[in-house]
Amino acid sequence: MLDIRFIRENPEVVRENIRKKFQDAKLPLVDEVIDLDARRRAAIAEADQLRSERNSLSKQIGMLMGQAKKDPSKLQEAEAVKAKVKAQADRLAELESQETELEDALHQKLLLIPQIIDPSVPLGPDDSCNVEVERFGEARVPDFPIPYHTEIMESFNGIDLDAAGRVSGNGFYYLLGDIARLHEAVLAYGRDFMIDKGFTYCIPPFMIHGNVVEGVMSQTDMDGMMYKIEGEDLYLIGTSEHSMIGRFIDQIMPADKLPQTLTSYSPCFRKEKGAHGIEERGVYRIHQFEKQEMIVVCKPEESRDWYEKLWRYSVELFRSLDIPVRQLECCSGDLADLKVKSCDIEAWSPRQQKFFEVCSCSNLGDAQARRLRIRYKDENGKMQLCHTLNNTCVAPPRMLIAFLENNLQPDGTVLIPEVLRPYMGGKDRLIPKR
Domain identity same for 91 and 230: no
Domain identity same for 211 and 332: yes
Domain identity same for 90 and 210: no
pLDDT of res. 96:
87
Higher pLDDT, 222 or 372: 372
Contacts with 155 (C-beta within 8 Å, 6 or more apart), sequence order: 147, 412, 432, 433, 434
Residue 343 and residue 133 in contact, taking contact as beta carbons nearer than 8 Å: yes
Where in the sequence is the domain holding 33, given as residue range(s)?
4-110
Domain-located, residue 378: yes
pLDDT of res. 40:
94
Domain-located, residue 313: yes
Query: Which CATH number do you get for residue 78?
Result: 1.10.287.40
Is the pLDDT at 230 greater than 60? The verdict is yes
Arithmetic mean of pLDDT, 106-114: 95
The pLDDT tens digits for 176-191 are 999 999 999 999 999 9
Query: Which CATH number do you get for residue 146?
Result: 3.30.930.10
Domain count, the chain: 2
Is the pLDDT at 66 greater than 90? The verdict is no
SS3 261: strand
Q: CA end-to-end span of the chain, whole Å?
A: 54
Where among 110, 139, 160 does a domain terminate? Answer: 110
Domain identity same for 105 and 149: no
Higher pLDDT, 219 or 227: 227
Task: List the one residue out of 349, 15, 23 whose CA is nearest residue 218.
Answer: 23
The pLDDT tens digits for 396-432 are 988 999 999 999 999 999 999 999 999 999 999 999 9
Domain identity same for 273 and 412: yes
Domain identity same for 179 and 74: no
Task: Work out the mean pLDDT of the chain and round it to a whole number.
Answer: 91
Domain identity same for 141 and 94: no
Share of the chain above pLDDT 70, in %: 90
Domain-located, residue 121: no
Domain-located, residue 255: yes
pLDDT of res. 48:
84
